[in-house]
Amino acid sequence: MDRRQQKTRDAIFDAFGMLLTEKSFSKITVQEIIDAANVGRTTFYAHFPTKDDLLREMCAEIFDHVFSDAPRAENTHDFSANGRDTTTAVTHVLYHLRDSRKNILGILSSESGDLLLTFFRQYLNKSLAMRMLDGVRPADSVPMDFLVNHISGSFISMVQWWVENGLRETPEEMARYFMSVTDPILSVGNM
């Protein structure tokens, strides 16, 4: 993707994020997004076939960045020099969720919250859970896909709890909570 395309994409993300602070996902129209982003309808659809695809791509941006081989420093956090261990990855995802709290809260509180959680689970299954399970052999009676689903579900439940409680805990505290409840499951598989 060239710079111009990335700039357009960023403008659409920013416009969508701003609109999510003002109204629910279902009430936002593509016209409002393109007006706020100052792009044409054809340009929007060249990047995102639907508004749901835009939401999916917002999830993908977070996960692609967090699990990249060379994450960049950001305004509120810098994991670019940290190791690529699971606790760091969990903490990094939580920073992005906290930093996007207006967007996330807007989506989770709308009827499209389930859609966001579905996309979120897909990325968790693909990246976080698989990273956590690298080298883990589950007990003979537990299928690997069940274990992946269990870890992703636990992460989503943790995020929902965190949001419902006003994001009072730091991302580091939440990562510690998550790792303390998943480590025993992973340890059993390695015995």
Q: What are the tens digits of pLDDT across the range 49-79? A: 999 899 888 777 766 666 666 666 666 666 6
Q: What is the DSSP letter of 172?
A: H
Q: Are residues 20 and 63 in the same domain?
A: no
Residue 11 belongs to what domain range? Answer: 1-49
Kindly state whether residues 30 and 62 are assigned to the same domain. Answer: no
Do 177 and 87 share a structural domain?
A: yes
Q: What is the mean pLDDT of the chain?
A: 79
Instruction: Please tell me whether residues 30 and 58 are part of one structural domain.
Output: no
pLDDT 10s digits, 82-100 = 556 778 878 888 887 787 7
- Looking at residue 13, which CATH number applies to its domain? 1.10.10.60
Q: Is 81 in contact with 46 (CB distance < 8 Å)? A: no
Structural tokens at position 92:
């990094």
Instruction: For tokens 């917002």, name the residue.
Output: 58
pTM check: above 0.85: no
Q: Are residues 41 and 83 in the same domain?
A: no
Q: What is the dihedral of CA 162, 174, 89, 155, to 10 degrees?
A: -50
Share of the chain above pLDDT 70, in %: 72
64 and 42 within one domain: no
**72 and 16 both lie in a single domain:** no
Position 191 scores a pLDDT of 42
Provide the number of structural domains found in the chain.
2
| Higher-confidence position of 188 and 11 | 11
